[in-house]
Chains A and B, each alone.
Chain A
Amino acid sequence: MTKRECIDIAEMQDVFELPRSHPRRRHLEECPRCASLFASLRSFSDTSDEPAGADFEDADRRLSEAVENRIVRATSARADRASVQESAPSAIARVFEYLQRSPLRPITAVAVLAIALLGIRMIVNAPHEPSRTRTLRGETAPGKQQPVLESPRLLTDGGTRLSWRPVERAQSYRVVFYRADMSEVARWETGPESNLLLNAAKVEALAEAREPLFWGVTALRGRDEIGRSPIRVFTVPGKS
């Protein structure tokens, strides 16, 4: 059997516009994997197909508010920006240092850098004006909103402790590990503790990913998100 040449999702629409007799178009229609994915993509784009039980009015209102708050109103105070910019070069330096140590493929290296730079942009633009930062449900949350990540610390038993500066009014924290494409690798809830202990087995499991990982912390109050740290490259202490 010849190797299956599946079609990248980014090309599916173009392939669909090829003549029916074209081998790639035929593949798109006949390969169960490609045909399923393309049917999903078309269903995603079909705005008239509203699932029963969904509340679009409420979703529209709350998501617009969330997007507006997170992106547009998250203008940092100039004074804060100046102080945060001091920390940006060290973050860049860390990523460069990481890239030099790791035998990364060029594409991954570009992705790592892009994410790092975006992360820095998020630091710079992070909501520093408490009164303007609101949660998804529109609740105004005072206090510093951003968990500030500290460097992972290696413990004597081979475990690693991750910690961050706590967020006022947070009841719990969620720690998430991502790959370079931002897909999730693992997540943990820590309760009210502003640190997470990864035992040696967990560290080993993360190290097995053999690709650059990133981590970030979300501060929660009930189910509402009240703060989010920028994403950082995760290096297993002692293994880098």
Chain B
Amino acid sequence: MAERRDIIMEPDESLLRRALQDPEGNRGRRAASVLLSRYQRQVYAWCFRYVQDHERALEMAQEVLARAYVKLGLFSGRSKFGTWLFAVTRSYCLNEVERPRLLVGSPEDPDCLSSDRPDPERVLLERLDEEAVLELIEKHLDPVEQKALWLRSFERMPVETITRVLRIENPSGARAVLQRARRKLRTALEARRQ
């Protein structure tokens, strides 16, 4: 019991060291389990933000934790363990959700033009690579709009989550910011064509 209490108080780094030193022994396994359990809430919350479904988020979180366990030996120690686990979780979630189009939205993005309308700006923008999009949005959008559009389009983040991540306080949250950002981008692209 005392050992269990001690292990719970142990810093991440020391749990990790023990998990890697004795991966097959009881103490190593216990250390890995305590370490991963420490972050299970965060992993679940992150998955939930992407899928808005408890059961699916649980399945995803379980998968992330299982992968993290298998990959523990690849953790380089360059960052905090939590940062590394975030990278594993993020990469998993990105694989699980489809990338929204930059200018064409799902029902979540009602401001977008419908996809059946010919739209040269849209076509052009969808073809641009990340670097070109970065350059473009830096030139035409304010910092909050830049981040909101980036999170939506490249981090595949749901609108509601963007509101929270960027701590946007206006009543319509990231939705209004995204609308504004897309409008500005479209205008900029139209001007570029003329």
A residues near B (Cβ < 8 Å) are 1, 4, 8-13, 30-33, 35-37, 39-41, 43-45, 47, 49-51, 53-56, 58-60, 62-64, 66-68, 70-72, 74-75, 111, 114-115, 117-119, 121-122, 124-125, 136, 181-184, 223, 225, 228, 231
* Docked pose: A4 CA to B131 CA in angstroms: 8
27 sampled A-B residue pairs with Cβ under 8 A: A9-B86, A12-B83, A31-B134, A32-B138, A32-B146, A32-B147, A33-B130, A40-B86, A41-B86, A45-B82, A47-B41, A51-B48, A54-B44, A62-B58, A63-B58, A64-B40, A66-B62, A67-B37, A70-B69, A72-B30, A75-B29, A115-B74, A118-B73, A124-B24, A181-B74, A181-B91, A184-B92
Asked if B108 is at the interface (CB within 8 A of a chain A CB), the reply is no
Closest chain B residue, CB of each to CB of A216: B70
| Chain B residues near A (Cβ < 8 Å) | 23-24, 26, 29-30, 32-33, 36-37, 40-46, 48-49, 52, 54-55, 57-59, 61-62, 65-67, 69-74, 76, 78-80, 82-84, 86-92, 95, 130-131, 134-135, 137-138, 143, 146-147, 149-151, 154-155, 157, 160-161, 164-166
CB of A15 to closest CB in B, whole Å: 11
- Chain A residue at minimum C-beta to C-beta distance from B69: A71
Question: Contacts of B166 on A, CB cut-off 8 Å?
Answer: 39
CB-contact partner of B155 in A37, A66, A70, under 8 A: A37
- Interchain CA distance A64-B44 in the complex, whole Å: 12
- Chain B at the A interface: SS class: helix
Q: Contact: A9 with B58, CB < 8 Å? A: no
* Secondary structure of the A contact surface, majority rule: helix
Provide the residues of chain B in CB contact with A37, threshold 8 Å.
Answer: 155
A45 and B52 alpha carbons, distance in the complex (Å):
19
**Which B residues lie within 8 Å of A72 (CB)?**
26, 29-30, 33
Q: Please state if B146 and A9 are interface contacts (CB–CB under 8 Å).
A: no
Count CB-based A-B contacts (< 8 Å).
174
A197 to chain B, nearest CB (A): 24
Given known pairs A9-B83, A114-B73, A231-B70, the reply for A32 and B65 (CB within 8 Å) is: no
* Residues in B neighbouring A50, C-beta threshold 8 A: 45
Report if A75-B37 is in contact (Cβ < 8 Å); known contacts: A33-B134, A118-B70. no
Least CB separation from B55: chain A residue? A223
What chain A residues lie within 8 Å of B138 (beta carbons)?
32
- Which residues does chain A contribute within 8 Å of B32, judged by CB atoms? 71
10 closest cross-chain pairs (CB), A and B: A10-B79, A32-B146, A63-B40, A10-B78, A43-B165, A71-B33, A59-B44, A36-B150, A32-B150, A54-B48
Given the known inter-chain contacts A40-B165, A53-B54, please indicate yes or no for A183 contacting B33, CB distance below 8 A: no
> How distant is the Cα of A11 from the Cα of B58 in the complex, in angstroms?
29
Min distance, Cβ A10 to any Cβ of chain B, angstroms? 4
- The residue that A35 contacts in the complex, of B59, B131, B147, with Cβ under 8 A, is B147
The reply to whether A33 and B150 form a contact with Cβ atoms under 8 Å apart is: yes
- A residues within 8 A CB of B135? 1
